[in-house]
Structure 1
Amino acid sequence: MGGKDDGDSLPDIVNTCFLLQLLLRNFMVTLAGKKLHIALVGNPNSGKTSLFNTLTGLNQKVGNFPGVTVDKKTGSISLDHTQKAELIDLPGTYSLYPRRADEWVAYKVLMNADEDVKADVVLLVADASNLKRNLLFCSQIIDLKIPVVMALTMNDIAARKDIRIDIQGLEAELGIPVVAVNPRKNKGIAELKKVLLQVSRQQGTVHTREFIDTRKLAPESVEQVQRILPQLSDYATIHHLINHEQFPLEQQVQDAIEQAETETRFNPTKTQAEEIMQRYHRIRQIMQQNVLEPGPLEKKLFTEKLDAVLLHRVWGYVILLAVLFLLFQSIFWLASYPMDGIEWTFSQVTGWLNNTLPAAWWSDLLVNGFVAGLGGIVIFIPQIMILFGLITLLEDTGYMARISFLSDKLMRKVGLNGKSVMPMISGFACAVPAIMSARSIENKKERLLTILVTPLMSCSARLPVYTILISLVIDDKYYFGFLSLQGLVMMGLYFLGTAMALIVSYVMKWFINIKEKSFFILELPTYRAPRWKNAGITMIEKAKIFVTDAGRVIIVISLLLWFLSTYGPKDRMEQVENKYAALIAKEPQHEDSLQKQLSSEKLQHSYAGILGQAIEPAIQPLGYDWKIGIALITSFAAREVFVGTMATLYSVEESDDNSSLRQKMETARHKDGTKVYSLAAALSLMVFYMLAMQCMSTLAIVKRETKSWKWPAFQFVYMTLLAYGMSWITYHIFS
């Protein structure tokens, strides 16, 4: 009987094994097909951005984390030929005890308390040259019992410091995989992907080892909360005791945790202090066993020698001014060739379309609405790419942080501090992310002042306005063979905007009544060779953002303007057409000149012309005509729209003219025959665009950051009045 049972059960065992093998294979296929979500975390200046760019290349998206104005960078990577993953770059943070809004974003994702962003695996970036500090954050993540892989960066700097790390010993102590990488040289990236794939396929495996015994920090409190939330690790439970109000929990659970805190007399401050002491005690042991460091009398690093020059109390400022001077000279010098090529191309395309397409409303819309607006976008892409590329190189080398350090003394005199410099310099690119980055300023008064004056910095949206106006009234001449006069004027506008921001901040500091002590603590990163690939990626991404975001607005407004400047009240338009039909019939030999006069008069009687002439009395003291008035109104959607507006207005007025926008603006005349774009009028207009708050997006972000409409309303009023007053002064000085 027993033998028969054994014989009958053998096929069942084989079938069961085959079935299990099939299920396992299907599970692996399913797992391989599922897109993984990997959270990239680490301390600031640990090489996190370098690794993100190397892993993702151009497969990046930039947005905001749900519910907060914090940059959310995500990118797609392939771990092997079957497994895709989404890499989420979380804001840099030093520990799991957040203080700023961006640190809270990273914290909630790691605590699995973010309802929109979930991570299957954590990729932790640690700086090999400063491992002790980085291990604190690492140890906290390990105790959360989530799958984690450490990418060890800055190994070349550690080697130059004569720091030797036993990676295998470090792995054994931490209980997680450690991979040495160099994103700049693409070293260790293939191995890192392989390890990430292995760890992702072991999801669910519980970490048996703890870095420290976190339960002993508050045993009774942990036990009570785990009865409510049994899925939490001991360390995650402690964080729920400290920050449960910030997590998306039902009210019943919130109340139960609160009760547990009270009953067990849980002390968050004492628990946190004890935890940090225990972690650093264990970190010191690990460092002694696995890291060989040189003595304190070792020779200075190259970085320290370079800082002796670049942070010198005299030469540091001279070098800073020279760097900024070269930055603005390069924007004109390098961009002039591609811009001339783009301008010629659009002129040829416009001429070809005018000669090829039949005379109809749709062809007029295409040529004078769409193509004219598109030309106003594309021509400025070279300058925007060059500006962002150079700023990226300054950040990449580590010099941008030195600018903050050098500027702190000056900033404090006007009510700011050195940390205000980073948002203000970022304001040269765009005020929206610059204002968001002011969160790094802990002092409330200094943060508010930074937000209020940052829009005075000349952002890249003003660049198209500056460029076309400078080219109209400033001679293209060079001093000493390399100093561009146009570049010097451009730099002067940027410096004037900065000076106005400092003056306004100095005045405002006496009226904003927030008393809070201010401290300036800044970590200076090591100098590194610039990564041209990283600069290239940034340039392409910023160009794409400009074309898709600003470009959409410009095209829509260009098409709307074409309609407003082509059509008008029926009786007025008919009256003009009848007048010139009679004149052409009477003087057919002057038909060409009469057709041009007809186009000009129709534009004046169009809806756009009526609007422009209505506001003309208010802007005439600044030297502007009604067409510029229309551009000032449309620019409140986006400053770049100025160029598209002028392109559309002049194209509608002179629809058969194939000359470039710059040529049309150069020949524009007032009724008395004087130039519209004289030196005085052009400088006045540049000053207005430099100081006016013509950006709805900036006002919206100020409201979001200050949680009040009071400050954006104040900002709009003071900047508009300042712009009008300074433009009036400029016009009358140069008239």
Structure 2
Amino acid sequence: MSDAMIKVALIGNPNTGKTSLFNHLTGLNQKVGNYPGITVDKKTGICKLSKTQKATILDLPGTYSLNASSADEKITIDTLNDATNEFSPDVAVVVTDVEQLKRNLLVFTQVKDLEIPTLLVINMADRMQSRGISLNIPQLEADLNTKIIVISSKLQTGIDDLKEAIISYTSLSTERCISAGKIENNTITHPELLTSLSAIELKKVQHRETIIRYQFINAALKKSYKIDRSKASDLQAKLDRIFTHKIFGYVIFGVLLLLIFQVIFEWSSVPMEFIDGAFGSLADWTKETLPEGMFTNLLAEGIIAGLGGIVIFIPQIAFLFLFIAILEESGYMSRVVFLMDKIMRRFGLSGKSVVPLISGAACAIPAIMATRNIESWKERLITILVTPFITCSARLPVYAILIALVIPSERVFWIFNWQGITLMALYIIGFAMALLSAYILHKTLKIESKSYFVVEMPKYKVPLFKNVAFTVIEKTKTFVFEAGKIILAISIILWVLASVGVNEKFDNADAIITESVSKNGFNEIQEVSLNNKVIRFKQSLADEASEAGKTITAQEINSAIAEKTPEFRQAVIDDEISALRLENSALGTIGKAIEPAIKPLGYDWKIGIALVSSFAAREVFIGTLATIYSVGSEGDDEEANTIKAKMESEVHASSGKKVFTFASGISLLLFYAFAMQCMSTLAIVKRETNGWKWPMVQLFGMTAIAYVAGLIAYQLLK
């Protein structure tokens, strides 16, 4: 061929060794300038390819794609796409990292579509053996329709082969990797679209183009790119052999989860008790300080009680996001994705579904949106339908309060307790139901589609405190503010409904209860309530004496009780008046209408109201009960005014038995594990599936499963 200077453009993602290769090729024969009109560096150099042949090497800025969204990307596309540009190359050399080949090949397919001779350089060959990577070069060359050179910038191997390939560039095919008809509105080959399309349309077009390119890349790599971790020898490979082991990998993941759930309960208990008590005290202070009236009652019994029902769970939510962020930042979560792929395939899914399912542990909404990366429509639809079974952060407040109420805190195996184990069991149950549902849908949905799965393992690294802290703060803030808005609105509505009477009993509750007590004395249920107040008072006296290092005699205790008994009796009467008013309010009427349907599950009408209101968002359940139990209540001490204490002391009006027993608690836990209690999720499913058919299937299906599970649990355990 001619000895004229060959113009070569080096292209590639950042950190692929492109600049190191540029230095090897040009040595000291390089210069740095600026591209016309901008301050981005332009590096060029002279490379001696043979005794008679030289090349001008242009090191283009590192870029992840040619979809021009930055000055660097615009330089690259302008240089490659404009034959009149003085830097327009005779041959393009795309440099890739052998460990990140899938991601790096996106740029290669885009450059190849420009129909200029293109060489593919696979760098970091020195790492292939230690990483257990094998490449079928002839197969990959055939699939990509190009010449491939494997090099090592570190060891300087393959450089001479690259020089020879550059000399012979005219023999390279200029055909596209992906035929023109497959990509509609290709902005790489038709740059005029960048100005003719709106910003939103442009993003959609580029997103569709990227998906098509990755489908092509995945299919090519599936045949020619293999990673055998058993043959790898570096530290990462050794860790991977442990973390992705077919037995130990699952054991390690299970133990990690158990430790996380245990820590969530252990570390958050103290701040939660403090927050709960603080909101109870704030409500009491509000009633005592502000003038009596509707506004004071709304503030104390509606707004403060409702918001307290969500703020109390900030510690648990923050700890959950903390551990998820650490697992993601460290690189371990990618190993979980790889590990779970083997299980997923048995249920009609693949490892691609793991990312949305794991993301569902934070929130189902972004998790469902993440299914857009799944090419198979059938697999994507199934993932969308089963993701809400995964325990999200909104379920955690419900789980936490119910577990604390009905599950003992006794320790098991020294560091674990039954509460932490129960929380983990609920996560496992949700995941198991997601898999079972996926299997049934896979067998019943008559949709033909193919799927494949390629995952790149990022390197292990120590999580950066700044990144973890930012993730925890942002996600916790989002959860609290999003939930807070809903809870505030619902708390006000509930308080108004509870304050409006529907019959004479509401208006005359004071006279009815006072007359009943004066005629008949306390009934059995009222006596139990009085005794509970006395028991709590005795315990508080003993605790105060113990803290002060004093001894209190039985006579002193009895004397104090006798002095406080009239106050306790009046508190019982006040509670009865509040209960009668609530039962005969608009809210009580609605609850009574619901009660027959939920009574077989062990729930009363107050829980029914909480179930209905929490359809807006699951976490509203606790805020609703906090509001209902606060309406008109006057606690005899601070401890009795906490949410947990009010739920613990709640009894059925007819039998006097506790509402929250082991049986009803387990029933409620299972109901919330399976129920679709989130309007926002339904709206997202409607958008992602283009209609109301699948959201309705999801809603009624999950509700039926939840009802049956709760019914069976209560009937077996009561």
Q: Scaled by the length of structure 2, what TM-score is found?
A: 0.65
Preserved CA contact (<8 Å) 1:111 1:236: no
Deviations 1:169-191 (A, max 9, x none): xxxxxxxxxxxxxxxxxxxxxxx
What is aligned with 2:645? 663
Find 1:696's aligned residue among 665, 679, 691: 679
Residues 618 and 299 of structure 1: is their aligned pair in 2 closer, same or farther, counting only changes over 3 Å?
Answer: closer
Task: Provide the C-alpha distance between the structure 1 equivalents of 2:451 and 2:101, rounded to a whole number of angstroms.
Answer: 28
Deviations 1:4-54 (A, max 9, x none): xxxxxxxxxxxxxxxxxxxxxxxxxxxxxxxxxxxxxx97999xxxxxxxx
Deviations 1:661-702 (A, max 9, x none): 101111111121111001000100110011011100000000
Asked if residue 607 in structure 1 is aligned to residue 586 in structure 2, the reply is yes
Counterparts of 1:164-175 in structure 2, within 5 Å, are none
Counterparts of 1:467-506 in structure 2, within 5 Å, are 467-506=400-439
SS in 1 for 2:189: helix
Asked if residue 520 in structure 1 is aligned to residue 499 in structure 2, the reply is no
Residues 394 and 359 of structure 1: is their aligned pair in 2 closer, same or farther, counting only changes over 3 Å?
Answer: same
One-letter identity of the residue aligned with 1:238: T
Preserved CA contact (<8 Å) 1:668 1:676: yes
Q: How far off its partner does 1:427 sit?
A: 0.9
Task: Provide the C-alpha distance between the structure 1 equivalents of 2:399 and 2:99, rounded to a whole number of angstroms.
Answer: 45
Preserved CA contact (<8 Å) 2:65 2:110: no
Deviations 1:493-547 (A, max 9, x none): 1111111111111112111111112211111111111122211111111111012
Residues 315 and 359 of structure 1: is their aligned pair in 2 closer, same or farther, counting only changes over 3 Å?
Answer: same
What is aligned with 1:643? 622
What is aligned with 1:457? 390
Preserved CA contact (<8 Å) 1:96 1:140: no
What is aligned with 1:14? none
Q: How far off its partner does 1:568 sit?
A: 2.0
SS in 1 for 2:246: coil
Deviations 1:470-511 (A, max 9, x none): 111111221233112100011111111111111111112111
Residues 728 and 299 of structure 1: is their aligned pair in 2 closer, same or farther, counting only changes over 3 Å?
Answer: closer
One-letter identity of the residue aligned with 1:477: E
Counterparts of 1:415-434 in structure 2, within 5 Å, are 415-434=348-367
Q: How far off its partner does 1:593 sit?
A: 3.3
Asked if residue 314 in structure 1 is aligned to residue 247 in structure 2, the reply is yes
Asked if residue 734 in structure 1 is aligned to residue 714 in structure 2, the reply is no
One-letter identity of the residue aligned with 1:694: Q
What is aligned with 1:326? 259
Counterparts of 1:275-674 in structure 2, within 5 Å, are 300-569=233-502, 571-580=504-513, 591-656=570-635, 658=638, 659-670=641-652, 671-674=654-657
One-letter identity of the residue aligned with 2:685: V
What is aligned with 1:707? 690
Deviations 1:549-589 (A, max 9, x none): 11110111111111111222264422434534656898997
Preserved CA contact (<8 Å) 1:129 1:163: no
Find 1:720's aligned residue among 686, 696, 703: 703
Residues 127 and 327 of structure 1: is their aligned pair in 2 closer, same or farther, counting only changes over 3 Å?
Answer: farther
Find 1:684's aligned residue among 662, 667, 684: 667
Residues 94 and 718 of structure 1: is their aligned pair in 2 closer, same or farther, counting only changes over 3 Å?
Answer: farther
Deviations 1:428-451 (A, max 9, x none): 111101111111211111111111
Aligned residue pair count: 522
SS in 2 for 1:546: helix
One-letter identity of the residue aligned with 1:452: L
SS in 1 for 2:443: coil
Task: Provide the C-alpha distance between the structure 2 equivalents of 1:637 and 1:511, rounded to a whole number of angstroms.
Answer: 30
Preserved CA contact (<8 Å) 2:113 2:188: no
One-letter identity of the residue aligned with 1:677: F
Task: Provide the C-alpha distance between the structure 1 equivalents of 2:188 and 2:597, rounded to a whole number of angstroms.
Answer: 64
Task: Provide the C-alpha distance between the structure 2 equivalents of 1:111 and 1:549, rounded to a whole number of angstroms.
Answer: 42
**More moved, 619-628 vs 430-439:** 430-439
Q: How far off its partner does 1:594 sit?
A: 2.7
Preserved CA contact (<8 Å) 1:95 1:136: no
- Unmatched runs of 5 consecutive residues or more in structure 1: 1-41, 47-92, 113-125, 146-153, 167-211, 223-231, 252-267, 277-297
Deviations 1:54-90 (A, max 9, x none): xxxxxxxxxxxxxxxxxxxxxxxxxxxxxxxxxxxxx
One-letter identity of the residue aligned with 1:484: N
Preserved CA contact (<8 Å) 1:566 1:606: yes
What is aligned with 1:239? 190
Residues 469 and 127 of structure 1: is their aligned pair in 2 closer, same or farther, counting only changes over 3 Å?
Answer: farther
* Bigger Rg over Cα: 2
Task: Provide the C-alpha distance between the structure 2 equivalents of 1:651 and 1:330, rounded to a whole number of angstroms.
Answer: 31
Task: Provide the C-alpha distance between the structure 2 equivalents of 1:310 and 1:44, rounded to a whole number of angstroms.
Answer: 29
Task: Provide the C-alpha distance between the structure 2 equivalents of 1:429 and 1:361, rounded to a whole number of angstroms.
Answer: 38
Residues 592 and 380 of structure 1: is their aligned pair in 2 closer, same or farther, counting only changes over 3 Å?
Answer: closer
Deviations 1:648-671 (A, max 9, x none): 000004145542110111111112
What is aligned with 2:223? none
Q: How far off its partner does 1:344 sit?
A: 2.4
One-letter identity of the residue aligned with 2:393: S
**More moved, 587-596 vs 412-421:** 587-596
One-letter identity of the residue aligned with 2:277: W
Residues 500 and 140 of structure 1: is their aligned pair in 2 closer, same or farther, counting only changes over 3 Å?
Answer: closer
Quote the sequence identity (%). 45
Residues 398 and 246 of structure 1: is their aligned pair in 2 closer, same or farther, counting only changes over 3 Å?
Answer: farther
Preserved CA contact (<8 Å) 1:465 1:640: yes
Preserved CA contact (<8 Å) 2:406 2:665: yes
- Unmatched runs of 5 consecutive residues or more in structure 2: 1-11, 17-62, 79-94, 115-123, 132-150, 156-169, 202-208, 218-230, 522-565
SS in 1 for 2:444: coil
Deviations 1:577-634 (A, max 9, x none): 4534656898997654332211110000111100000010000000000000000000
SS in 1 for 2:631: helix
Task: Provide the C-alpha distance between the structure 2 equivalents of 1:381 and 1:412, rounded to a whole number of angstroms.
Answer: 36
One-letter identity of the residue aligned with 1:514: I
Task: Provide the C-alpha distance between the structure 2 equivalents of 1:498 and 1:434, rounded to a whole number of angstroms.
Answer: 14
What is aligned with 2:561? none
Preserved CA contact (<8 Å) 1:424 1:454: yes
- When the two chains are superposed, the root-mean-square deviation of aligned CA atoms in Å is 4.5
Q: How far off its partner does 1:140 sit?
A: 9.0
Counterparts of 1:101-180 in structure 2, within 5 Å, are none
What is aligned with 1:169? none
One-letter identity of the residue aligned with 2:189: I
One-letter identity of the residue aligned with 1:523: E
One-letter identity of the residue aligned with 2:628: L
